[in-house]
Homo-oligomer: A and B are copies of this chain.
Amino acid sequence: MARVVVTDGMSKDAVNLLEKSGHDVTLKSFSNDELLSGCLSEFDAIIVRSATKLSRQVIESTGNKLKVIGRAGVGVDNIDLDAASESKITVVNAPLASTQSVVELTIAHLLSSIRNISKSDRGLRQGKWEKKAMVGTELSGKSLGLIGFGRIAQGVGLVAQAMGMEVHTYDPYLPPKVAKNHSTRLHKDIDTLFKTCTHISVHCNLSDETHHLVNYERMKLMPGKSRLGIKCGNHIVNCARGGIVDEEDLFQALEDGIISTAALDVFEHEPVDSQNKLLSHPDFHGTPHIGAATLEAQSRVGIDIAKNVMDSLNGKTIKATVNSHLLK
């Protein structure tokens, strides 16, 4: 039996699962001062979302008992992986729980962009009936460029293909076979992806390598029309991480007509600055980082992290271990 503390809340189903498996679960939030005072030293495992910050200082004040940190979600920005690894603490996350939710949000943003959904609704609410100004284009027959081709991008590709899109990707870490199995064309350099595709959707992690990967020069390469000559313009969607798209550049590209529509679920600074110029652009629409914000993802993430924490406590090596390369 292990003692597990859950500091940012978790679904009832997940708590039940831990308890039925014989573990002792404590649901409690701590201030940073409490965390620093060693309040975690009596637990074998801690499960957090994004609110609890497990800095080096916090991790070093946990003593020797803590064996596993579980992040009920994907990103581990709030956990100092180096410090955890030095203390021989395994960090696990729940990377699969939100896949379908992010896939559907991405398709929602792609379609909302090209059919002017938010813009049309704004017009109707202002008493306008702008039928001619809202002429859009179809996704069918267009080339979709996916930056990164992990689980989410693969799911987006599947739905896009069902709507008649041709799917392309740039992913330097992808075995070519995976792209082939998904009838997706893998490009060796990212500029070729931009030259080929009228619609670009971001599905990679944020790193030094990907920061401002989508910039003015690259957007300028986009063709603006389909292979059959339909002048559909160019479109950018980012439901991955803020900072991969250069927001200043995106605004300028919209102003210059290089980009026709843009949709962001994630921003370089969150919550987004209300003075961000994109927010008042007519051809932009956004959502407040809600990729994983569905009842289904929230329910799955609890179950997944409970299972992964238990597996890890039992000494199993699992795929969801985030710091396996640092623990060796």
Contact = CB atoms under 8 A, between A and B. Distances in A.
A230 B296 contact: yes
B135 A290 contact: yes
A287 B115 contact: yes
Contacts of A85: none
B288 A138 contact: no
Given A117-B108, A159-B159, A290-B120, A138 B101 contact: yes
A212 interface: no
Contact of A121 (B100, B139, B286, B293): B286
A107 B117 contact: no
A162 interface: yes
A124 to B, nearest CB: 5
Interface stretch (A32-40, A64-72, A268-276): A268-276
Interface residues of A, number: 62
A53 interface: no
B288 A123 contact: yes
Interface stretch (A125-133, A145-153, A173-181): A125-133
A289 B116 CA distance: 12
A111 B115 CA distance: 13
A118 B115 contact: no
Interface in A219-250: 230-232
A286 B124 contact: yes
A163 interface: yes
A131 B294 contact: no
A100 B280 contact: no
Contact of A162 (B105, B158, B297, B298): B158
Interface of A: 100-101, 103-105, 107-109, 111-112, 115-118, 120-125, 127-132, 134-141, 158-159, 161-164, 230-232, 270-272, 274, 279-280, 285-290, 293-299
